[in-house]
């Protein structure tokens, strides 16, 4: 039986095993997908296990998406561009890191038929997921990407990877077409982003990478102000599907049953 897993810290709330085992079963694959809480010093051993064929693939989540790179033998272009890896596999006997968050985001936006072409997008947050979203938005040919982060220095660091990024000060929010919450604010239901959107015209698109809880205060408030909203569930599903395809060579079906499975 082949073994796959998601590693991170914390990891108990990860829904990756639920979705991956659902597709494994649906496709009659002899495999199991588990979750494991690791420390930074365990990453080397994880990569070794993939090299030795003891583990056949892994997802990497917060806070190791960057740290893992140091131990890998090869990176795909997507992983290289974002300096972020969420999927590991053995390719030509080399432990390779890839980033499926980029296409996860792109396909989610495509699914909901929001046309970002030539639009101005504002990202809030400069943590682990921000480079993947920036990369996807560039691929989707947006006109301008602005980024705001509580710690401005971290936002400035992202400019080393993406030179056209427009960094703005906290609470100096300019007009935009779409705004993305890429912070961890909202993971607790009572969390509030300390930003004021009341002066922005309505009919904008507010997107939250968080999908559990289903509706963060960021989305709730945006809806009250008359904006379109969407949570990160579709992005999560698509990034998982891309990883499944890499490991098993099968494009898994995305259906309503999966959407319901994740609503818990
Ligand atoms: P990491 O920063 O380790 O990659 P992350 O969960 O990927 O972790 O990212 C956390 C993001 O949420 C960061 O952009 C963080 O802002 P800082 O860089 O200023 O820490 C943001 N964040 C977390 N708590 C926040 C809060 N209370 N208000 C605003 N932003 C917050």
Distance CA 58, CA 49 (A): 10
Please write the tens of the pLDDT for every residue from 225-241: 999 999 999 999 999 99
Nearest CA to ligand 1 atom 27: 185
**Distance from the first to the final alpha carbon of the chain:** 29
- Supply the pLDDT for residue 157: 95
Q: Known catalytic residues?
A: 65
Q: Is the CB of 184 under 6 A from ligand 1?
A: yes
Q: Residue 189 has what pLDDT?
A: 93
Give the number of other Cβ atoms within 10 Å of residue 52's Cβ: 10
Q: Is the CB of 242 under 6 A from ligand 1?
A: no
105-159 confidence digits (pLDDT tens): 999 999 999 999 999 999 999 999 999 999 999 999 999 999 999 999 999 999 9
Residue 125 CB–ligand 1 contact under 6 Å = yes
- Cβ-count burial of 243 within 10 angstroms (0-12 exposed, 13-18 middle, 19+ buried)? buried
The pLDDT of residue 171 is 83
User: What is the percent of the chain with per-residue pLDDT over 70, rounded to a whole number?
Assistant: 100
pLDDT at 199 over 90: no
CB atoms within 10 A of CB 181: 24
């Amino acid at each position: 039986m082949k073994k796959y897993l998601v590693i991170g810290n914390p990891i108990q709330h990860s829904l990756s095993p639920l979705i991956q085992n659902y597709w494994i079963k649906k496709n009659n694959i002899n495999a199991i997908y588990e979750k494991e809480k690791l420390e930074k010093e365990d990453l080397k051993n994880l990569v070794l296990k993939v090299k030795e064929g003891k583990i056949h693939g892994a997802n990497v989540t917060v806070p190791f998406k960057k740290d893992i790179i140091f131990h890998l033998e090869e990176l795909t272009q997507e992983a290289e561009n974002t300096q972020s890896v969420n999927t590991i596999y053995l390719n030509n006997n080399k432990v390779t890191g890839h980033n499926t968050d980029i296409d996860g985001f792109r396909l989610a936006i495509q699914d909901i038929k929001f046309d970002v072409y030539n639009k101005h997008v504002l990202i809030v947050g400069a943590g682990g997921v921000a480079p993947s979203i920036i990369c996807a938005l560039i691929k989707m040919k947006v006109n301008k990407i602005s980024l705001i982060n509580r710690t401005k220095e971290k936002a400035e660091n992202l400019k080393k990877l993406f030179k056209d990024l427009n960094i703005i000060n906290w609470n100096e929010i300019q007009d935009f077409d779409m705004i993305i919450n890429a912070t961890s604010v909202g993971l607790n239901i009572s969390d509030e982003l300390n930003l004021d959107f009341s002066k922005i015209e309505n009919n904008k698109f507010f997107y939250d990478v968080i999908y559990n809880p289903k509706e963060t205060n960021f989305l709730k408030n945006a809806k009250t102000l008359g904006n379109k909203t969407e949570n990160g569930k579709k992005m999560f599903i698509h990034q998982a599907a891309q990883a499944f395809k890499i490991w098993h060579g099968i494009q898994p079906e995305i259906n309503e049953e999966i959407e319901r499975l994740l609503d818990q």
